[in-house]
Amino acid sequence: MGTPHNSADKGDIAKTVLMPGDPLRAKLIAETYLEDPKCFNEIRGMLGYTGTYKGKRISIMGHGMGIPSIGIYTYELFNIYDVDNIIRIGSAGALQDNVNMMDVVIAMSASTDSNYPEQFGVPGTFAPTADFGLLEKAVAAAREIGATFHVGNINSTDTFYRNDEVDTKLRDMGILCSDMEVAGLYCNAARAGKHALGILTISDHIFRHEGLTAEQRQTSFTQMMEIALKVASEV
């Protein structure tokens, strides 16, 4: 079967998929946490694996950078590969003073400056929102492991480099952090009638100019991974 972006056959991918942006992080998570992981995709270097976690069949696949990239991969997973649940596990830049490095943010909703929602033709402003069932499980899992976490509105932006004026306005509206993908995931899930959640780790603070190295981003987000895996094992 396959698509131009995914060589998997139908049935190779589990009903629940965890998706980091970096395909090497997908490989690391699969090899660290899954039993007997099997690679189902290598097209464009976007690695995907399926294995089991505590007896539950789970897939892990990269989604690349930005809403256009996650939009392609999650559309195919939801609509072609019959995936029911997608959990984005990625990094984000903090906007609020009380959101600190390595904190976990569970995205209840995702504001965006992207034009991606326009394709659905919804009058007014569509509000991309998490699946409450997944969100509720993630909150419970975060409490169980004692993670420092925040739940609320995030911003999914098309512009990684931008001026401080925009970020100041987002902070003033209570936006917790910025990523580049969650809003696209939530739109695709809504249209497909499926379930989605974004769980993010703070890798830098936009106003304090703090940041992790690329290696730290790839290897140190263990609490986020544990929360996401627990959620995935329960759906």
pLDDT at 217: 65
Give me the phi and psi of 22, to 5 degrees please.
-85, 120
Catalytic residue among 84, 113, 158, 204: 204
Q: What predicted TM-score, i.e. pTM, was given to this entire model?
A: 0.96
Give me the phi and psi of 116, to 5 degrees please.
-55, -45
Rounded CA separation 41/64 (Å): 14
List CB contacts of 38: < 8 A, sequence separation 6 or more.
12, 49, 50, 51
**Count of structural domains, the chain:** 1
Q: Which tokens belong to 60?
A: 């892990």
Known active-site residue 204: yes
pLDDT at 210: 84
Q: Distance from first CA to last CA of the chain, Å, rounded?
A: 26
Residue 129 is assigned to a structural domain of this protein? yes
Strands 104-112 and 149-156: parallel
Residue 67 is assigned to a structural domain of this protein? yes
Residue 138 is assigned to a structural domain of this protein? yes
Residue 207 is assigned to a structural domain of this protein? yes
- Domain of residue 26 covers 16-234
Residue 47 is assigned to a structural domain of this protein? yes
Q: Report CA torsion sign: 94, 98, 100, 103.
A: negative
pLDDT at 82: 98
Residue 105 is assigned to a structural domain of this protein? yes
Q: Can you give the CATH number for the domain in which 175 is found?
A: 3.40.50.1580
Q: Decide: 52 and 15 in contact? Cβ < 8 Å.
A: no
Q: What averages of pLDDT result for each successive group of 10 residues across the chain (235 residues)?
A: 91 98 95 97 97 97 98 98 98 97 97 97 96 98 97 96 90 98 98 98 92 70 94 97
Strand partners, 112: 156
Residue 6 is assigned to a structural domain of this protein? no
